[in-house]
Amino acid sequence: MPFAPLHDHGGVGHQLVAASVVITMAPEVVKGKVLIGNSGGEYGVRGWLAALDAKSGTLQWKAFSTGPDNEVLIGPEFKPFYDSDKGADLGIHTWPPGTWTLGGGTVWGWISYDPTLNLIYYGTANPGPWNADQRPGDNKWTGGIFARDPDTGKARWFYQTVPHDLFDYDSINEILLLDLDFEGQSRKVLVRPERNGYIYVIDRATGQVLAADPYATVNSTLGVDLKTGALQYNDEKKPRVGQVVRNICPTAPGAKDWNRPPIRHAPASSTSLT
């Protein structure tokens, strides 16, 4: 982590984190490209995922998690399922002016790859700063799941599990890719236990949420609206400046964090375990 020295006052050295680039994730290699993202959303950074040529190390593409569509690599191929994720330059317009430049949404979790659909799936972390009152809006494209073409980096769809993240829940846990019989129909799905306490079953071709059920004690939110995809926050548990709010479940580390035992699937019982 780089530091910039400040003036020494009375012999005491002071340091300031300056333009920090922190990488904590293990890279993923897909079709000759090394995929890697940055960390440190609390350091005033802008999240991204980059693809490097596995042989030469040259940058092939870089997709940011905030900002204009051309820098998020959103184009005509982008077909999100929910209306809340449709519109031009939402990575700018869902933030107070200019704050997206330090908006977080870092990519430090897990990447999954479907060779049949030729799509990668990964999550974006919390928006910055943590104090949600300073960033009104949905804070796109933080706290959600991207599906992208690994060849070009172009976004195919996005779903925001925690719009305007109030609790540092992020959206970075591992993603399990399964072909399941769902309500009598074979579906290609992704399954993910989110830190917000819900386990999501999402059509991985379209981004439609098929199910989102709590797998732990949850009172910070009241459920997920499957028609709109929206997470329903509980007003009684919203953090507010100057007010003490107790007994929030899950807490910031989440119902399941990245370092807990990974989710696994038992095909015989069609059960996914966390």
| Catalytic one of 151, 168, 170, 203 | 168
| Residue 160 bridge partners (DSSP) | 144
Note whether 38 and 107 are within 8 A (CB). Answer: yes
Contact 204, 188 (CB under 8 A): yes
Start-to-end Cα distance in the chain: 33
Q: Is 179 a catalytic residue?
A: no
Q: What secondary structure letter does DSSP report for 65?
A: S
Do 2 and 21 touch, CB atoms closer than 8 A?
yes
CB atoms within 10 A of CB 154: 17
Over 143-207, what HEC string results? CEEEEECCCCCCEEEEEECCCCCCCCCCCCCCCEEEEEEECCEEEEEEEEECCCCEEEEEECCCC
231 within 8 A of 161, measured Cβ to Cβ: yes
- Supply the residues annotated as catalytic: 168
